[in-house]
Structure 1
Amino acid sequence: MSIAKVIRERRSIKTDYKPDAVSEELVLELLNDAVYAPNHGLREPWRFVFVSTEKKKDFVERLITVYPPEAHEKRREMYSQPAAYLIVIMKEDPRQKQWEEDFSAVNCLIQNFQLLAWERDLGVVWKTNPHNWDPKAHAILGVQPGEKIVGFLHLGFFDKENPPAARKRTPAEEKFTRFE
């Protein structure tokens, strides 16, 4: 499959996950390719927390406590859908230039992971929910001062024969100018 085809066909898989477990071995295999994302100075500013299918229920019960009690059932239902989670955490450099380079690198790594996962029929949706910034969620995940959650990746296998429909993209020509 060409790179262009994978880029154009990849979708965020938000629902309808199969009940199959997502193995740590598969996630590590994908990450070991994804870490080849461009990153200035090879700082590799990322680290990962994997929530396995077997640990997901306990994780969800702890995570919903970040929200008000009246939101627990809705959040429990939403967070129980994926088979597993991969939380991507970035070390925050206090220097603005380095911070932006590192944030860009982590985003590239996540895109690499999504493309690699798609090739293996592993659905991913990259989420930035309010708990990403919540100190209570940071404590649950062991996020340290000077670290930032860049994304919660919801993981689960899906029926690749029936992926979500593509959404229209604006042609590059409509956002393209020439320096004169």
Structure 2
Amino acid sequence: MDVMDAIMARRNIKKFKTDPVAREQVLSWLEAASYAPNHRMTEPWEIVFIGPETRIKLNHKANFGDAPVLLALLSQPASSQLARDENVIAAASFAQNFQLAATAAGLGVTWSSLGAAAHNRELMEVPGDYDVIGILGIGYPAEIPPVKPRTPITEKMRELP
């Protein structure tokens, strides 16, 4: 699958098959994701693999679609608000790269913001000055949602003199 196909095929998966996902495969996608743009090569992302006990305590209403692999993506702290913003943007780019790599391999990802809640940050042992970019569930999709309509990009554009 080429990159344009992966971009157009990527969906937020709501339900996964129980088939296991090889850790080596996930690690290869994480490695590829690390090529995301990041200002001054700060590489501000950190990954936390979430085990069964923590997953239960997170108490997600749909159990992350029963995804067989669950991880949290964090963004490291920074010395200024601008640097923090740059770190969060870089970590979000990392997440997108990861999703595209998984999609190209025939797997899917769900991205949840549940990890940002204070009690969930504590459960995941997230230091207070870190940002939680999201909790990602990874697996083989049991169903792939249809494409949702998008606003034509020309309606989101403007030009300056």
- Backbone CA RMSD of aligned residues: 1.8
Instruction: Give the corresponding residue for 2:56.
Output: 61
1:141-180 matches, within 5 Å, as 141-158=124-141, 163-180=144-161
1:23-172 matches, within 5 Å, as 23-51=22-50, 55-56=51-52, 58-64=53-59, 75=60, 77-79=62-64, 81-129=66-114, 131-134=115-118, 136-158=119-141, 163-172=144-153
TM-score if structure 2 supplies the norm length?
0.90
Aligned length: 161
- The one-letter code of the counterpart of 1:118 is T
- For residues 55 and 88 of structure 2, the distance between their equivalents in structure 1, rounded to whole angstroms, comes to 27
Greater radius of gyration (CA): 1
Q: Which deviates more, 78-87 or 164-173? A: 78-87
The answer to whether the 8 Å contact 1:63/1:140 transfers is: yes
Gaps of 5+ in 2: none
- For residues 7 and 107 of structure 1, the distance between their equivalents in structure 2, rounded to whole angstroms, comes to 15
- For residues 25 and 47 of structure 2, the distance between their equivalents in structure 1, rounded to whole angstroms, comes to 14
- For residues 125 and 77 of structure 1, the distance between their equivalents in structure 2, rounded to whole angstroms, comes to 11
SS where residue 138 of structure 2 aligns? strand
SS where residue 158 of structure 2 aligns? coil
- The one-letter code of the counterpart of 2:124 is L
- For residues 47 and 79 of structure 1, the distance between their equivalents in structure 2, rounded to whole angstroms, comes to 20
- The one-letter code of the counterpart of 2:30 is L
- The one-letter code of the counterpart of 1:167 is K
